[in-house]
Amino acid sequence: MMKQFSYRHTKEAELIENMEEAELFTFGGYNEAETEKTGFSNYSYWNSTLHAFFKNRIAFALLVLLMLLLAFTFIQPYLPGQYDPNLIINDASGMQFRNIPPGKQFILGTNSIGQDLWARIWSGTRTSLFIGLSVALAEALIGITVGVIWGYVRKADFILTEIYNIIDNIPNTIILILISYILKPSVKTLIFAMCLTGWIQMARFIRNQILIIRDRDYNVASRCLGTPTGRIIVKNLLPYLVSVIMLRMALTIPAAIGNEVFITYIGLGLPVNIPSLGNLINEGRALITSPALRYQLVYPTIILSFVTISFYIIGNAFSDAADPKNHL
């Protein structure tokens, strides 16, 4: 048996020696699809994030209610029997329906000049939400861009730090008042005034997070392998910042609405022909001492409180859900 094995082994060795190198070795080649299969996982970041978020029933319920409220603000003007928010309603004799309490004809009553409070509240909610969402998107776009450059590009750190120190030492309230006083009161003016310095906080958060993860092993390896900087930022850095970004955006929306209310309160906000929650609360504030007319302050305040609390709870819940540590 041993002789037979030795004979066979000798024959195979002689056969290999007589073969050419091209016959002995062949390159397997590179197949990107097959390479991806070696590291395949059914884990999905966004699926895991949404799954973790939906477990929070309170946040999910508030999100549904908030979406319904947002949708209704756009649907309401097209419903039958709706009044124009700026229309002064008169009776058959030409007298204005002033301070009519809530009832069948006017669901939420009228204000001191005969305008339908129901129509004005939904129009004002639509205006305030537009301002809040616009400010949040603008601050996120500017803040993320500046923050990534600030944290990743070492040469830009000194310049952007000095710019931050200058802007951060100027009270935001003063800037809002100055811009609102100099420019013509309008929705665009308020959005511009809030975005002028609001992005700096988002940029600082992004910069601090980038500094923490910039020089981790996988980022150093990516740079050594020649991975483009843009791909490193998009694939390696930004996914770790989703929770921070979403939380900041969720808190920016109610903060922007609150700033609009404050600017209107001091008389520099939107004109009265543009309904907003700030205008409605400012009008109702003057009637707080009259119990019969207090509804003109209560209803817009309820909407403002609901929007503010909802965004705060939803933002915190989504921020926790976006943290990979909470994924299974």
Phi first, then psi: give them for residue 90, nearest 5 degrees. Answer: -115, 155
Q: Is the pLDDT of residue 282 over 60?
A: yes
- As given in the structure block, the two tokens for residue 32 are 């990107």
71: left (phi over 0), alpha (psi -120 to 50) or beta: alpha
Q: Is the pLDDT of residue 58 over 80?
A: yes
Give me the pLDDT at residue 2, please.
45
pLDDT tens-digit map of 244-267: 788 788 888 888 888 888 887 777
Q: Is the pLDDT of residue 16 over 70?
A: no
**Alpha helix locations (H) across the chain?**
2-18, 21-24, 32-38, 45-54, 57-75, 117-152, 157-168, 172-182, 187-213, 217-224, 229-231, 242-265, 277-285, 295-322
More confident residue, 41 or 52: 52
Give me the pLDDT at residue 61, please.
93
- As given in the structure block, the two tokens for residue 88 are 């002064």
Q: What is the mean pLDDT of the chain?
A: 80
Domains and CATH numbers, the chain: 45-85+121-326 (1.10.3720.10)
What's the whole-number mean pLDDT along residues 44-57?
A: 82
Give me the residues paired with residue 96 across strands.
90
Distance CA 165, CA 9 (A): 79
